[in-house]
Amino acid sequence: MEHPRNSRGLEFVRSILLNAAPDQVWRALTDERELCRWFCDSANVDLREGGRFALLGPGVLDGGAQIITSLAIGRRMSFSWPLRDASTEVTWELESQLDGTRLTVKHRALHNDRLRFTASAAVISEQNTRRLYVNDLWTYYLLALRLHLSGNAPALKLNLDWSPRDVVELSFETGADSDRAFAALSQAEHLNKWIATDARIDPRTGGELSYGWSNDGPTKISAFEEGKCIAYDWHYADEAGTHVEWRVESVGARARITLRHSGFAPMPADYADYVIGWAGFCARLALYLQDDLAYEALSIEDHIEWLYAQTERIKTTPL
């Protein structure tokens, strides 16, 4: 099924190396039960050109209307994905490599002004009041897929409802114990591996906390309970101050980590991007805690380089 192209069409490309054979990756991308473990809550897949590829759940924006537009079993699949009334198409391409499978994702806008792809992100805008960064969305999906293929996917459920709400809340289990999980949230050497660029922390209530970001982020610790809770004030760019809290609890030999980001009043225009952005950081944390061999030794800058560049590229090119 061909779609018309014009000068306004743009393409967003990203790829990632997965430690799994191509047939295993293909099943994760197309099998209904596999999809429900990392991508959606329910799936209806008719694996043929023109068949349904209906994905539904809180992690799938505007799901249910996807249709397969081209198919090469085991190697390549494209499907339409209407987003906020904008016409888009996603392509998954698999390439066998000695150390696994390279998955390349191409997401392109089709003759519609409501989807803009910029140098760093794909932005869906609606009268400048609602934004969704497609780069953050695919960061989360690809990391969630990597976790799924490792056998230790976090139970992250994205809520992409545009209606105003005061809190972002995400919770997942990790194979690490609660002591190691809390250390990853409260010690600079660990923070620098999954979220910070130059972490500085005084681990006590009232202590200072910085991730070393140029646009701020955390500032002062408002609550600290060793092994259980760390909470802090959050100031980012010119937004009103909000509040972030991480809690760790033991579930047998595993740890459950819960993030709450609250105080969105009035709501920022990019609230949905907070949901997706935090989900991506939670996935990075889960990868770090499970000793992912391609991740353990990387700083956050290196990890971003690995995800955004070394594993292939992000590009925005006219079609």
Domains assigned to the chain: 10-152+310-318 (3.30.530.20), 167-266 (3.30.530.20)
Dihedral of the alpha carbons of 14, 17, 23, 25, in degrees to the nearest 10:
-60
Task: Give pLDDT, residue 24.
Answer: 96
Task: Give pLDDT, residue 6.
Answer: 34
Give Cβ neighbours of residue 252 (< 8 Å, ≥ 6 apart).
none
Task: Give pLDDT, residue 85.
Answer: 67
* Alpha carbons 141 and 37: distance in angstroms, whole number: 12
Whose CA is closest to 109, among 6, 1, 11, 4?
11
| Per-residue pLDDT tens digits for 155-188 | 566 666 656 677 888 888 888 899 999 999 999 9
| Per-residue pLDDT tens digits for 40-86 | 889 999 999 999 999 988 778 777 889 999 999 999 999 998 876 67
Model pTM score: 0.79
Low-confidence spans in the chain with pLDDT less than 70: 1-10, 84-85, 111-133, 152-164, 266-272, 291-319
